[in-house]
């Protein structure tokens, strides 16, 4: 067994009520890696993650998670997993410390007091130790939930859209904590809708209708897209966007603040389509590297509507 690999699966598939939710998932995740799952609602992100860590039995496929068979050894896998849901699930009428002590009792750890104290220190919760969980802000609730999730020293963390509804600074602090945990050798699987969070992952996969459309490092995903992008600023941009939409070579026109990102899959054809507009005095055009969001918007467009 390769001890550097936390997850190694092939051909994982899952259906519910005759509908294929995940199809032929093949994935390797290294130990200590932060691996992100992106895709629209219903794309199979959560189902994929749950199959990978033993919380859901696949209909087909095979592989290992933390050295255990994902079909036969799910009980062993679950003991090594910390699962943090999007919805805050701790007791709001208990304090931070009381919540952590309660969770430690559930895990049945022998050195409960020491583990609770360490979790409070690790997530910077010391000055809120006695505060009721229900009075915490969204960011501090997420820190508390992460502290509870890591109390039993799991080797694998499952984070299902962990920062939904949390302000940007709290999200940044939360991701710093995630990277610190990964640096200690903990593997992290995370689903997210935020592009800035996707860029914080070591590697990621984009799913649509149960299939992986692309995977790799954020840089490799962008480079592999073969997408060509121009940024334009100037006057009457929304009118320009309407004009550009549908031109040969123009795959997408997306507003970003006071600019438009205009992208296509063929650089020469895109430039030819834009040629009449590049010399306009009221517009400023700049060649640009496509962003991760540009790539994912294109993937969404190419995936089309869900098959009936």
Confidence of residue 304 (pLDDT cuts 50, 70, 90): low
Domain shared by 149 and 254, yes or no: no
Mean pLDDT of 2-6: 80
Q: Choose between 301 and 51: higher pLDDT.
A: 51
Domain shared by 36 and 160, yes or no: yes
pLDDT digits (tens, 9 = 90+) for 154-172: 999 999 888 877 788 888 8
Alpha-carbon distance 39 to 17, whole Å? Answer: 22
Residues 6 or more apart in contact with residue 121 via CB below 8 angstroms: none
Domain shared by 170 and 212, yes or no: yes
pLDDT at 74 over 70: yes
pLDDT at 237 over 80: yes
Q: What is the CATH number of the domain that holds 273?
A: 3.30.70.330
What pLDDT sits at residue 49? Answer: 85
Domain shared by 160 and 260, yes or no: no
H-run or E-run covering 233: strand 228-234
What pLDDT sits at residue 2? Answer: 58
Structural domain contains residue 161: yes
Q: What is the DSSP letter of 62?
A: E
Mean pLDDT of 84-113: 90
What pLDDT sits at residue 308? Answer: 39
H-run or E-run covering 96: helix 96-107
pLDDT at 88 over 60: yes
Measured between alpha carbons, how far apart are the two ends of the chain, in Å?
Answer: 41
Domain shared by 165 and 209, yes or no: yes
Confidence of residue 307 (pLDDT cuts 50, 70, 90): very low
Structural domain contains residue 305: no
Q: Which of 205, 222, 239 is the last residue of a domain?
A: 222
Instruction: Record the pTM.
Output: 0.87
Domain shared by 113 and 148, yes or no: yes
CA nearest neighbour of 218 among 270, 293, 271, 106: 293
What pLDDT sits at residue 192? Answer: 86
Q: Which domain holds residue 279?
A: 228-289
10 Å Cβ neighbour count for 248? Answer: 10
Domain shared by 110 and 33, yes or no: yes
Structural domain contains residue 300: no
Domain shared by 179 and 249, yes or no: no
Total residue count of the chain as it appears in this document: 308
Structural domain contains residue 210: yes
pLDDT at 55 over 90: no
pLDDT at 1 over 60: no
Taking the CA atoms of the chain, what radius of gyration do you get in angstroms? 22
Residue 262: strand pairing partners: 230, 253
């Amino acid at each position: 067994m390769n001890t550097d690999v936390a997850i190694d699966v092939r051909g994982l598939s899952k259906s519910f009520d005759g509908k294929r939710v995940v199809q032929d998932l093949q994935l390797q995740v290294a130990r200590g890696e932060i691996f992100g799952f992106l895709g629209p609602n219903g794309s199979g992100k959560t189902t994929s993650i749950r199959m990978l860590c033993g919380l859901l039995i696949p209909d087909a496929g095979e592989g290992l998670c933390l050295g255990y068979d994902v079909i036969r050894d799910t009980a062993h896998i679950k003991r090594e997993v910390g699962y943090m849901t999007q919805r805050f699930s701790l007791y709001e009428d208990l304090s931070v410390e009381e919540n952590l002590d309660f969770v430690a009792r559930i895990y049945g750890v022998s050195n409960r007091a020491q583990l609770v104290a360490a979790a409070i220190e690790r997530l910077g919760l010391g000055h809120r130790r006695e505060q009721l969980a229900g009075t915490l802000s969204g960011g501090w609730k997420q820190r508390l939930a992460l502290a509870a999730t890591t109390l039993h020293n799991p080797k694998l963390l499952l984070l299902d859209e962990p920062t939904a509804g949390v302000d940007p600074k709290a999200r940044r602090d939360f991701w710093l904590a995630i990277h610190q945990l990964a640096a200690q050798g903990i593997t992290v699987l995370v689903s997210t809708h935020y592009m800035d969070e996707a860029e914080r992952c070591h590697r990621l996969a984009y799913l649509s209708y149960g299939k992986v459309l692309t995977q790799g490092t954020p840089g490799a995903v962008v480079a592999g897209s073969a997408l060509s992008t121009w940024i334009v600023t100037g006057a009457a941009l929304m009118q320009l966007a309407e004009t550009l939409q549908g031109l040969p070579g123009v795959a997408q026109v997306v507003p970003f603040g006071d600019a438009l990102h205009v992208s296509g899959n063929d650089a020469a054809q895109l430039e030819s389509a834009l040629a009449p507009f590049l010399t306009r005095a009221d517009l400023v055009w700049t060649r640009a590297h496509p962003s991760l969001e540009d790539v994912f918007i294109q993937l969404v467009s190419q995936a089309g509507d869900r098959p009936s």
